[in-house]
């Protein structure tokens, strides 16, 4: 049992004003593995007031000091890799090898890459007779989901800290435990009081305060599209800056001439990472009809061979769904599979060999119409949908026929051909012929997949406001710029 009884507010661990606790459930055993405080609106306000008090001092610290603080967080997380990886494997169901590489490893990489981006960024820009600087947007309310509980926190916290913002973090109640380790590391690193605050609690109470309170200058949410719409509505009266990273139904387009063996293997990995519990998962595989039979055979064989099991076992490739509620959601969507398509492997029901744990069957459903439920709705579970297209133009139309536009992939005979197809897709990022995730590239989407970008220098810019200083005739902009750089 991991029992957390205090919130982190104004540089100290404090008893919550809210009553009660939130139970954290082990996805493999369905037992309670931990508890955290059920903070309330008063706790959220106290945290925001702390952040507001800290803003002036933190925003005036030297850039090198802020960069050092972010790197200290990375070092602290890396030192706790084993414990954190095992904890999030239990909370989320992530297989341990993926948990080490992504749940913790990616979080560390993001912190370090954001620090490097801040170090390389010129804090001053000369534009004609104007000198431009970027100042912090202010107090940030950061609301994060359960599927990548640590990575999503640092993807918001790192750029906020580096730009001189202060932040109140509200992690998901399903997987909140890693946030407490992060704040312990921040406290040990001597990060000033109020720069980072942590409040756990219900989204309908704590989250809504962070989205609507007058002290909040920016709300950054990763979550469902419905949650994004709610946050946007609450933030609108205050004209707050928004960062919304929402749902996805990303497609892999396989063009004629592509390497089918590599395309299918990569698509399966891109769909089933973290048990399919990934907003950018490649859950639709769009192929021309002449390649359909071979793609079906390869995909079904690859998924049927996946090792389903305890996420702490190193041989496990697919673990359990994170929670009872999410398991039910996946099963409700799988109930449409036989009606709308052909189930090649898997299907509805609990995975074979398990009488406990939220184990869904790794599933491949083919012969789906582009408007079928499984082809349109985000499943957030281990389900791959295969859709046949008449030709390449039709495949592109199918890929774009979604209310989402977060990610995607293209497989073609060569990279220039793949790039030409990718340029036609309405989505935020596209992997070409197996291209790898890049923590410096902007991450975000089109349409109902969100607003704004995270990661790298573009993500850093989201947390700043531009100030244009207009100089008088005859002034030397370079002289003013150099003076401002000396203060940064």
Cβ neighbours of residue 253 closer than 8 Å, sequence gap 6 or more: 286, 392, 395, 396, 399, 408, 409, 410, 411, 421, 425
Q: How far apart are the first and last CA of the chain?
A: 45
Per DSSP bridges, beta strands 7-9 and 124-127 are unpaired
Question: Please, are residues 102 and 151 in contact by the beta-carbon 8 Å criterion?
Answer: yes
Burial class of residue 226 (count of CB atoms within 10 Å of its CB; 0-12, 13-18, 19+): exposed
- DSSP string of 395-464, one letter each residue: HHHHHH-SSEES-EEEE-SSHHHHHHHHTTS-SS--EESSPPP-TTS-B--EETTEES-BSHHHHHHTTE
Residue 279 annotated in active site: yes
In the chain, what's the furthest Cα-to-Cα distance? 79
Residue 165 annotated in active site: no
Question: Please, are residues 326 and 380 in contact by the beta-carbon 8 Å criterion?
Answer: yes
Active-site residue (options: 91, 279, 296, 377): 279
**Residue of 348, 322, 323, 354 whose CA lies nearest to 336:** 348
Question: Please, are residues 108 and 77 in contact by the beta-carbon 8 Å criterion?
Answer: yes
Question: Please, are residues 333 and 353 in contact by the beta-carbon 8 Å criterion?
Answer: no
CA distance 20 to 24: 13
Active-site residue (options: 49, 91, 100, 245): 245
CA distance 288 to 295: 10
Neighbours of 437 (CB within 10 A): 15
Cβ neighbours of residue 30 closer than 8 Å, sequence gap 6 or more: 324, 356, 357, 358
Q: Which residues pair with 468 in a beta bridge?
A: 132
User: What amino acid positions are annotated as catalytic residues?
Assistant: 245, 279
């Amino acid at each position: 049992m991991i029992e957390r009884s205090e919130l982190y507010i104004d540089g100290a661990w404090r008893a919550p004003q809210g009553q009660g606790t939130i139970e954290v459930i082990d996805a493999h055993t369905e037992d309670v593995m931990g508890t955290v405080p059920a903070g309330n609106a008063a706790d959220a306000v106290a945290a925001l007031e702390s952040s507001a008090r800290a803003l002036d001092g933190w925003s005036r610290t030297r850039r090198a000091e802020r960069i050092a603080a972010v790197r200290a967080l990375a070092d602290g997380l890396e030192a706790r890799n084993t414990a954190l990886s095992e904890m999030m494997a239990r909370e989320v169901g992530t297989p341990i090898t993926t948990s080490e590489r992504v749940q913790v490893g990616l979080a560390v990489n993001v912190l370090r890459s954001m620090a490097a981006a801040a170090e390389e960024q010129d804090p001053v820009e000369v534009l004609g007779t104007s000198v431009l600087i970027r100042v912090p947007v202010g107090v940030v309310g950061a609301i994060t989901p359960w599927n990548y509980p640590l990575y999503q926190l640092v993807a918001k916290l790192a750029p906020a800290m580096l730009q001189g913002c202060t932040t109140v973090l509200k992690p998901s109640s399903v997987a909140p435990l890693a946030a407490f380790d992060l704040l312990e590391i921040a406290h040990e690193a001597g990060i000033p009081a109020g720069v980072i605050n942590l409040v756990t609690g219900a989204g309908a109470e704590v989250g809504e305060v962070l989205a609507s309170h007058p002290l909040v200058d920016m709300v950054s949410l990763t979550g469902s599209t419905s949650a994004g719409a709610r946050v946007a509505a609450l933030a609108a009266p205050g004209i707050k800056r928004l960062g919304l990273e929402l749902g996805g139904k990303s497609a892999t387009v396989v063009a004629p001439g592509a390497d089918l063996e590599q395309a299918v293997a990569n698509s399966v990995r891109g769909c089933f990472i973290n048990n399919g519990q990934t907003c950018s998962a490649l859950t639709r595989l769009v192929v021309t009809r002449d390649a359909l039979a071979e793609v079906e055979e390869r995909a079904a064989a690859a998924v049927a061979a996946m090792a389903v099991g305890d996420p702490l076992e190193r041989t496990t490739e697919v673990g359990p769904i994170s929670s009872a509620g999410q398991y039910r959601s996946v099963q409700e969507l799988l109930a449409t599979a036989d009606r709308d398509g052909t189930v090649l492997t898997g299907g509805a029901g609990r995975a074979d060999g398990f009488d406990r744990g939220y184990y869904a069957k790794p599933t491949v459903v083919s012969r789906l119409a582009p408007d079928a439920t499984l082809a349109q709705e985000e499943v957030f579970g281990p389900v791959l949908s295969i859709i046949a297209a008449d030709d390449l133009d039709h495949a592109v139309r199918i890929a774009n026929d979604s209310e989402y536009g977060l990610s995607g992939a293209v497989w073609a005979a060569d990279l220039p051909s793949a790039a030409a197809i990718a340029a036609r897709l309405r989505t935020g990022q596209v992997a070409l012929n197996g291209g790898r995730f890049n923590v410096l590239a902007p991450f975000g989407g089109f349409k109902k997949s969100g607003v704004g970008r995270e990661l790298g220098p573009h993500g850093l810019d989201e947390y700043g406001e531009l100030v244009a200083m207009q100089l008088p005739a005859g002034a030397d902009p370079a002289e003013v710029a150099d003076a401002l750089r000396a203060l940064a």
